[in-house]
Structure 1
């Protein structure tokens, strides 16, 4: 099987979880993803080769291009999908397409050209049309504020997707002997999209017309021990607060680190700072702070008092599963949605805006560290499913054995 994505760690990590389960069931798996070293190492840890696609996702993210260049960048992504997946999919039975929409469109087109079954998967439901909520706005294409009918907004979203990605997709499709598509979003979603999220943290709210298969989140069973120096720090005092923003570049990262560390200290807590793609670090030489790189997040989150993070789907799920209360400081895309879910469940706080101040973060931490919030986080942790990758792996194998379309979970 070929599992394809283009995006950040939050897009690659679930595929590592699915690949691990598939290999355990005897399947041969290849993952097509950006050529970042940490992605390759993560996949190597589960015995799966990385087939590099396109340029480094980290470099892409840090470049922060203007919104006007999005169609050009999409064209680059789609072309790289055709190049890499065509070779990687030789002899495979199923292509699983995830990641940003142009990447998924490219992967699905390759599967179509090769006559291979395919599954379209999203790690957040905000790209799936629903009358219960508006779509996400694309950079440079804001939704008209005077329009409040969600169905109309989703029609406008389809137009935006076609304007941004349609020409690039169809140019590559025609060059590879495929007919053009009229509606890029409908093509990517297909007849039966999969939603790989936890139903407690992310209950599907859609429409009967869209036959969504919610498998549960694809969680990689990380058994890597925490570094000895980190364990010694954790053992040396009361549980600290974790601060990390994953794959977000956080262009004001020095100020973010200063604000976060001072706000945590004001709560009488120690701090674990994750470098991440923002390259956060210490602000002084005091011994109440510890910096980490790539670690077993679930193991670490199980030992902290709270998690301050950006609201990526993976980090939110891991923190929820670990029973840690959260302060979510959303930066973009689906992150405000996850922040809202954390607040709605009573397991933490949705920070208002992407740039915390000492005052705003102190107030949020006060709520997150309260006994009732932490008790609620512990209770919700016991409701989170851990079998999503197993469910998805078995569905894929059942699909191959039947030789037909994918089945419902």
Structure 2
């Protein structure tokens, strides 16, 4: 049996599918993964067949001023929608040619279900964050590619979702239904419901990011975490052992806010710690060569987080879950999409602090770090680590396998 997994997004969107693919392979299923071309070499290292889809995602992580990113015009949004749907359908149709099921993660894959219907195979949608699924308990996640911004806290969630669903239909309905008509399929009235299905999966930890409505048919196996057994580089372990506690700062595969590192250096020093910087896609690098700062590339984040006093990051689902599982206090500086949700959860759970705003100052980041480094917060973070599940990918793989073999 063959499974096609597909996603669009940064490494935080791709890595959960790699984790699921590894567990499916262990259950003797054949797996193929569609993702942006940036991840081809990395995925190949797991011996998972890879099919690139869409343009390189790294372009969106290039450092730039937020003021320099204009809101796209309605005509430009429609053009992007038509192009994206056409590319998705072409690539996924070829990739799914001999597959028995198609599982798509992230709602940007507008054509994925149409491909599955056209091929006559089951379709599964998996979200990585509860707020990606329509519900009155939370506001919709803003899509920066469409020029959307986070809703104010005072907004009514039902009204926000009604507006979001209209926007999704207005943007994607016509090109999607034109494609479906061309391949002999009936039109869809509700694009969002079509993508998400009436039984979506939620690949998020049920304690860190619970689905709030027990009456809704959402299957939540837990976060899909990729085990990492790599040792930390000797130079890094030597640095970690050599003095005051260290604070991790990294923004993964998204653009960091302007001046982040200069601000972080001063804030971390102000709380009496040293700094470990993950270069990421930004790329981040200290302006000075001070001995209390070290820059690292791709390292075992699971091991590193257990060695630091706090982790300052963007609030992606994978980084937040990894820090929570490590028992590390967090400072979340959310930038886009689901990061605002995870910032709120970290704060609500008392396992760290949510920075107010996307661009920190020395004063604001010092305050957020001071709050996260309080002994009671560190104690809650350590206790919370014990309830974060590590078996989500295995549980999901077994469920998908059982479904196919039924």
TM-score range, shorter chain: over 0.9
**What is the CA deviation profile of residues 331-373 of structure 1, one whole-angstrom value per residue up to 9, with x for unaligned ones?**
1212111001001111000000000000000011111111111
Please, what is the CA RMSD of the aligned residues? 2.0
CA distance in 1, matches of 2:7, 2:152: 32
Residue 314 of structure 1, CA deviation: 0.8
User: Following the alignment from structure 1 to structure 2, what is the Cα–Cα distance between the partners of residues 146 and 316?
Assistant: 22
Identify the match of residue 360 of structure 1 among 355, 359, 364.
364
Change (3 A) 1:383 1:239: same
Equivalent residue for 1:286, pick from 262, 266, 290: 290
**Aligned residue among 234, 256, 264 for 1:260:** 264
Counting matched residue pairs gives 395
- Residue pair 2:142, 2:336 contacting (<8 A) in 1 also: no
TM-score by length of 1: 0.92
Q: What residue is the counterpart of 2:194 in the other structure?
A: 187
Aligned to 1:385: 389
CA distance in 2, matches of 1:21, 1:205: 27
> How far off its partner does 1:216 sit?
0.2
Counterparts in 2 of 1:400 and 1:361: CA distance versus 1, 3 Å? same
Aligned equivalents of 1:344, 1:15: Cα separation in 2: 28
Q: Map residues 266-281 of structure 1 onto 2, 5 A cutoff.
A: 266-281=270-285
- 5 Å-filtered alignment, 1:7-406, equals 7-36=9-38, 39-62=39-62, 66-68=71-73, 69-99=76-106, 101-103=107-109, 105-138=110-143, 139-140=146-147, 149-206=156-213, 208=215, 210-250=216-256, 252=258, 255-402=259-406
Contact 1:342 1:349 in 2 (8 A): yes
Cα distance in 2, alignment partners of residues 365 and 293 from structure 1: 23
TM-score between the two structures when normalised by the length of structure 2: 0.92
**SS at the partner of 2:30?**
coil
Counterparts of 1:265 and 1:141, CA distance in 2:
36
Structure 2: where are the runs of 5+ without partners? none
Which contiguous aligned blocks of 4+ residues in structure 1 show a shift greater than 4 angstroms? 137-149
Q: Distance in 2 between matches of 1:198 and 1:16?
A: 17
Q: Relative contact order (alpha carbons < 8 A, sep ≥ 6): 1 or 2 greater?
A: 2
Cα distance between partner residues in 1 of 2:209 and 2:153: 28
* Structure 1 residues not aligned, in runs of 5+: 403-409
* Cα distance in 1 for residues equivalent to 2:158 and 2:11: 32
Q: 1:336 and 1:229 mapped to 2: Cα distance?
A: 34
